[in-house]
Amino acid sequence: MAKQHSFKAATCAAMVSASMTLMLHAAGAWADDVPPPSSSGSQQTDATAQPASKWKIGVGPGVVITPLYPGSRELRFFPYPALDIAYDDRVFSQGPDVLGLNVLRSEDYHVGAALSFDFQSRQEKDDPHLHGLGNVDGGPKLKLFADYTVWMFTGSVALYQDIAGHGQGKTVVTDLYASLPVGGWLFSIGPGFTWADAEYTRTFFGVSSQQSAASGLPAYNTGAGIRDVHLNGYVSYDISKHWATSVAVTLGRLQHYAAASPITERRSELNTLASVNYRF
């Protein structure tokens, strides 16, 4: 997943934002067709009718566009295996959520946990501006999430905890969006924000005295607070019974410690996940 693009520009989360993940999870699902009720003249059809499958399986190619590192003015592009797999709306693998479980769920809400992969990272070789700051690796995170839908509006919250020991701490992503289906199209849009703990902001935006001496950047202390505010957009289209395509975009603006860091070169962020899926 590492094909870098050369032009300049600025999610978690950043990552294919955690907000995009929840949006894809809540808005991108479809229901299997239920067989029609039997009639007195169709005994043979009834005998051979199959119950609706509890499986939902979609696979295909995708691409991720995200900042080269948090606060960067450059973007990088990743080819991405876009999976949308679920069983009985209980166990799922979708987007960066490698394996998830809806502990509580209904048509209106989901509460659960997932093992999620976060692509946020920073390498000194990415930019001369980073020399002396050290590397920050991406890796798996534990995700706890909840979402609730009333009519066309969905509110969601997700907590991400670094479990790989890469200093990425905790982030919490909160989103509110409205969804509107039109024919084979689905449109969603809404605002959100990301909160980050002191460990996360220190890792990505802080500059210790040792890093200052090595990099030439001024020392900079950080703490917990709002990392960014953002706007989410999502569009999907059912091309046919088996084929569908979708694009999820998050436009963000870094805040507080992240915005004022000497590491940050651009406050605006763009995160995009586009995919084409074949549904079995």
| Per-residue pLDDT of the chain in tens (280 residues, 90 and over written 9) | 433 333 333 333 333 343 344 333 333 333 333 344 444 444 444 445 567 789 999 999 999 999 999 999 999 998 988 899 999 999 999 988 999 999 999 999 999 999 998 889 999 998 999 999 999 999 999 999 999 999 999 999 999 999 999 999 999 999 999 999 999 999 999 999 999 999 999 999 999 999 999 999 999 999 999 999 999 999 999 999 999 999 999 999 999 999 999 999 999 999 999 999 999 9
Do the domain assignments include residue 34?
A: no
Dihedral of the CA atoms 107, 110, 93, 280 (nearest 10)? 0
Residue found under tokens 């520009």: 9
Structural domain count, the chain: 1
Do the domain assignments include residue 37?
A: no
Do the domain assignments include residue 43?
A: no
Do the domain assignments include residue 190?
A: yes
Do the domain assignments include residue 212?
A: yes
| Interior/surface letters 178-209, b for 16+ CB within 10 angstroms, e for the rest | ebeeeeeebbbebebbbbbbbbbbbbbbbbee
User: pTM here?
Assistant: 0.81
Do the domain assignments include residue 264?
A: yes
Do the domain assignments include residue 107?
A: yes
CATH number at residue 273: 2.40.160
CA–CA separation, 182 and 187 (whole Å): 8
Do the domain assignments include residue 241?
A: yes
Q: Which domain holds residue 154?
A: 3-27+53-279
CA–CA separation, 215 and 62 (whole Å): 36
